[in-house]
Amino acid sequence: MAPNSAMGHANRANVLLALGRTEDAHAAARQALALDPNDVSAIQVLVAGDDGPAGALERTKQLAAEVKGWGVLRVAGDLAATMGDETSAVAYWKQAMALGADDATIANLLAQLGQSGRIDELVAIADELPRLGERDPGLRWNVAAGYEAAGRIDEARIVFASIAHDNSAAPDVRGAAQAKLDET
């Protein structure tokens, strides 16, 4: 009913895939990608298979040759992370970020860097993020945690405060941010 809606085509692709209509699902996913080459859901439909994350990652690499944008790199990073390949996941997400990736992709990157103890790298990326106060609360949380781990407590407090006072953030996230402020 909305032929120019990438989300509509991607949702249709997911339903068709769930119904086992793979060819139709792929066609709908390609329509979504024609409208938005970074539609992660459509990319996931195109690379899905019964052979696990390794097979999906290979299809993602092939898809990257024809679909230009950060979305395919996001999916590649997600798949690499699922397989425990931290180095590849970080590399894919950094490439996606360089192409203008969404906040969820950057949050994944920062989370992986934090979990890997690569705090200096996390903080260097965080320091370059424009309009931090307007970004997704999950991304801001990872920035604040990175600043805290780096000993940059004042900056961590500012970012946690931005989450605690953000009515668009989930109440439990706001509460957790307030708790972080109360403990420091």
Q: Is residue 143 part of a domain?
A: yes
Return the amino acid letter for 67.
V
- Per the domain annotation, does 59 fall within a domain? no
Taking only the tens place, the pLDDT of each residue in 10-37 is: 999 999 999 999 999 999 999 999 999 9
Q: What's the whole-number average pLDDT of the chain?
A: 95
Number of CB atoms found within 10 A of residue 4's CB = 7
The set of residues, in sequence order, having a beta carbon less than 8 Å from that of 154 and lying 6+ positions away, is none
Residue 78 lies in a domain: no
- 79, 61 contact by CB (below 8 A): no
The pLDDT, as a whole number, for residue 4 is 87
pLDDT at 172: 96
Q: Please, are residues 101 and 72 in contact by the beta-carbon 8 Å criterion?
A: no
Report residue 171's pLDDT band, with 50, 70 and 90 as the boundaries: very high
Is position 154 within any domain?
yes
Tell me what the mean pLDDT of segment 64-68 comes to: 91
Please report whether residue 119 resides in a domain. Answer: yes
Domain extent at residue 130: 102-184
How big is the CA angle at 20 (ends 19 and 26), to the nearest 5 degrees? 100
Indicate whether 53 belongs to any domain.
no
pLDDT value for 23: 96
Is residue 146, in this structure, part of any structural domain at all?
A: yes
CATH number at residue 150: 1.25.40
Report the predicted TM-score, pTM, of the whole model to 2 decimal places.
0.90
Determine the pLDDT at residue 3. 82
Whether 184 has a pLDDT exceeding 80, the answer reads: no
Taking 80 as the threshold, does the pLDDT of residue 2 lie above it? no
Rounded CA-CA distance 160/83 in Å is 31
- 71-129 tens-digit pLDDT: 999 999 999 999 999 999 999 999 999 999 999 999 999 999 999 999 999 999 999 99
Report, as an integer, the average pLDDT of 37-43.
Answer: 96
- Give the 3-state secondary structure of 49-107: CCCHHHHHHHHHHHHHCCCCCCHHHHHHHHHHHHCCCHHHHHHHHHHHHHCCCCHHHHH
Q: What is the tally of structural domains in the chain?
A: 1
Please report whether residue 147 resides in a domain: yes
